[in-house]
Chain A
Amino acid sequence: MLEVRNLTKVYPDGTVALRDVSFSVEPGEFLIIIGLSGSGKSTLLRCINRLIDPTQGTITWDGVDVTAAQGEQLRRVRRQIGMVFQQFNLVKRSSVLTNVLAGRLGYVSPAASLVHRFSAADRQAAQRALQRVGIADKARKQARELSGGQQQRVGIARALMQQPRMILADEPVASLDPVLAHSILGHLEELNRVDHITVLCSLHYLDLVQRYASRVIGLRDGRLVWRGTGDDIRRMTDLEFKEIYGEDAVRTGAGRPLVEGE
């Protein structure tokens, strides 16, 4: 479904964010990417929908070369891939409903959308999406009036409006408390199981990784250094752990890394 081959990204300032990363994603997977801050997780996710242009390598989505896609073709790829962000990235002064409807922008006629006109079907779909994430009553509120957890639910509802075949989630729970983290990942899991949407998610907490991942890849300094399943995380040796998180990392509790200086 998604094929990443020899992906390399060098930023203009010389930072090498990804080095020769290759992996593939099968339909229906819940693939979790682990790694330290700055290990290239965010860059990897953003290369997949071309928010960032990779320097080298190819990404193939359903037989389409994403790295070469331009204009209309790129937008067609993007609209099939929903994205959820650590900072939610809602338009804070727009209403929750507008934020959710923005998920349809890849499908609707550009002219009508510029004056905020959406079809009745789209509006109903937006209400249903909000209902699914449990905040249908907040539709008329401004996004900034919502709590962090509620904002992330709006983010998921927005992604849902794209009728995505895959969702990229860039540390979706890093700004939330543990209880909310489970609730948000629960929503993603439901989309994965019920709607068969493939999920590609980067996460920090290994206990969450164990609980939700069907497959895990580990990045360190832009290199893919570890592949396994959620169960493999539990059985991970200290050596493997240090391979991902560095020599200074200390393993505590259910595999939650405590890294010096973090």
Chain B
Amino acid sequence: MTSGAGPADHGAAMAEDLPPLVPPWAAGLASLVIPGLGQALARSVWRGVLILCSLASIAGMLVWRIALLGHLQPTPLAMVRKAFELQPLFLVIACACFVASWVWNARDAVLRVRRRRGSPLLFALVLFTFFALGWQISEIVPSRLVTDFPQAMRPLGQVIWPWQSAVTREPQLSVAGASITVPKSPGPGPSADPVTAGQPHIVSVPSTGNLSTLDDNNQVVPGTTLAVTGTGFKPGVQVELWWVDPLRNAFRLRKGGSYLVVTPDSSGNFSVSLAMPYSIGPQEKGKDQPHRLEARQNLGFGPAHASEALVLTVQRMVETIFMGMMATLFGIILSIPVSFLAARNIMSGSPVTLAIYYATRTVMNVIRAIEPLIWALIAVVWVGLGPFAGIVALTVHSVAALGKLYSEAIEGIDAGPIEAIQATGANRLQTIVYAVVPQMISPFVSFSIYRWDVNVRMSTVIGLVGGGGVGFILVQYIRLLDYRAAGIAVWFIAVTVAVLDYVSAEIRRRFQ
């Protein structure tokens, strides 16, 4: 945009050789009334159109932003006042730039008529205004990087070093149980479990009763009180009391608002009384329901082993790599025939084949223009959530991408060796095997490996939209705010992609 040689100059080169229609002052005045009009009268029509469009869109966006900032205000004037109150700096700068651009546009029109060149400052001003608008519209707040940093420290730290969550130690429980039948039956109820030497044991009296219920006022009606005695527990280690309903749902019992905990005496015995809890299991009339009372003692932690997050991440990572592999395989298989249809040297024989060539190229370009992530969204609708959707999405994209690369390799084949092999008396198939295939192998391997690399990289993110693989659990962990587990997934993705990048580059280098 030097010396007023705006982008408009090319289109109007012919017209600009003609003299201006009006004197300089009239052009300036015209541009003050309608921006760009003066330039048009100076025979720079496209420059005028560009200026008019620029200023009109700036004005439009200013109105939109002011309306948005003051949208609760009743009158336009109040809106403007509110908007200036909220974001004074932005609006002052934007409005000043807008006014300056308008004035400068008039000056530009005068210069245009007088000296056949315009003001470069005008376009700088317009651009600056656009950037100011862009800053506000895209809600850029750099200060947040600093003010929000303390909050982000914890999750970021967990993502950066998540390995505490990579191992877990299972608590070693020592459990004794007693069967309780609900509702209260006339008999004595089930007898206590048989005593095993060296194992803890509990007895509940009675072993049948009613659960706590809620009355009409939502007040708890306590259930039958059970007297529980325990023997054979480890002395001095707390015992937790758990209730297991017929659906095997276990929950800790409470007494007076806090968890019920007893500590066995020095000979490992305890006794405690408790009310049967409130439970919302299914209640079948006239049928006994077997509940269980459990006394659990935590005797320490077992050996460390890989956590669920680590195991799941590794499994999903393997799934991801294989997704990429399968998509690449299908992509290669499908793109080979396609690539012949898209190779000009093969299809230039007749108008029909040439039409097929152009059609194939066009379809491939469209497919490649759509990101694999979008294809994954479509595939999820088609075949449902899971890795297969990801494979479908990546395959579709791979066919188009590989088809283009392969077809260019086919177009680049040297005809010399083909005629040399033909000259030896080889038949068509031999000619392909000895002259065409050797020329194709190197680009073929190189492009395929590269695509495998791309596909694995893509399949790590394709899970974000439900396409399976490690991205699927990554997005779950982030939504559950389990940043450590998410961090493990991120680490695996980063390492896998880096390793793959290196391996693929190395293989391609060797096949050069």
Interface residues of A (CB under 8 A from B): 46, 49, 51, 75-79, 81-83, 85, 87-94, 98, 102-107, 110, 113-114, 155, 158, 161-162, 168
Which of B138-146, B273-281, B336-344, B421-429 sits within the interface?
B421-429
Of B211-219, B286-294, B438-446, which stretch is located at the interface? B438-446
Does the CB pair B430–A79 fall under 8 Å? no
- Tell me if A162 and B417 are in contact (CB < 8 A): no
Name the CB-closest residue of A to B415.
Answer: A89
Query: With A91-B438, A114-B433 in contact, do A105 and B416 touch (Cβ < 8 Å)?
Result: no
**Contact check: which of A46, A92, A102 meets B421 at CB < 8 Å?**
A102
Whether B425 lies near A85 (C-beta < 8 A) is no
- Cβ of B419 and Cβ of A51 under 8 Å apart? yes
Would you give the shortest CB distance from A198 to chain B, in whole angstroms?
16
Task: Say yes or no: is B464 at the interface (Cβ < 8 Å to chain A).
Answer: no
B427, A51: Cβ atoms closer than 8 Å: no
| Contact of A102 with B416 at beta-carbon distance under 8 Å, contacts A93-B438, A93-B442, A114-B433 already known | no
Whether, in the assembled complex, B434 has its beta carbon less than 8 Å from a beta carbon of chain A, the answer is yes
Q: How far is the CB of A28 from chain B (nearest CB, A)?
A: 21
Specify the main secondary structure of chain A where it touches its partner: mixed
A122 to chain B minimum Cβ distance, whole angstroms, is: 13
Question: B435 within 8 Å of A by Cβ?
Answer: yes
Whether A106 pairs with B416 at a CB distance below 8 angstroms is no
- Nearest CB in chain B to that of A161: its residue: B424
Any chain A CB within 8 A of the CB of B21? no
Contact (Cβ within 8 A) B423 A93: no
Q: A89-B419, A113-B430 are in contact. Are A106 and B438 (CB under 8 A)?
A: no
- Does A102 lie within 8 Å of B441, measured CB to CB? no
Residues of B within 8 A of A104 (CB): 424
**Inter-chain pairs besides A82-B424, A110-B430, A168-B423, 19 sampled, C-beta below 8 Å:** A75-B427, A76-B425, A77-B425, A78-B422, A81-B423, A82-B423, A83-B423, A85-B419, A92-B414, A92-B439, A93-B439, A94-B434, A102-B420, A102-B421, A102-B426, A104-B424, A105-B421, A105-B434, A161-B424
Contact across chains for A78 and B423 when beta carbons are under 8 A apart: yes
Query: Is the interface on chain B under 10, 10 to 19, 20 to 34, or 35 or more residues?
Result: 20 to 34
B residues near A, CB below 8 A?
414, 416-417, 419-427, 429-430, 433-435, 438-439, 441-442
Known: A91-B434, A93-B439, A105-B434. A85 touches B420 (CB 8 A): yes
A107 to B424, CA, bound (A): 9
Contacts known (A89-B417, A91-B417, A110-B429); A102 close to B438, Cβ less than 8 A: no
Q: Which residues of A contact B442 (CB under 8 A)?
A: 93
Contacts A90-B417, A91-B435; is A105 near B423 (CB within 8 Å)? no
Chain A CB within 10 A, most for which of B423, B429, B430: B423
Contact A105 B435 (CB under 8 A): no
Cβ-neighbour of B426 out of A76, A106, A155 (below 8 A): A106
- When distances are taken between beta carbons in the complex, the residues of chain B under 8 Å from A102 are 420-421, 424, 426, 434
Q: Is the CB of B430 within 8 A of A89?
A: no
Contact of A105 with B417 in the complex, beta carbons under 8 Å: no
CA distance A37 to B26 in the complex (A): 69
Closest to A94 in B: B438
Residue of A at shortest CB range from B416? A89
Residue in A85, A110, A113, A168 whose beta carbon sits within 8 Å of that of B416 in the complex:
A85
Enumerate chain A residues within 8 angstroms of B419, measured Cβ to Cβ: 46, 51, 85, 89
CA distance A253 to B435 in the complex (A): 41
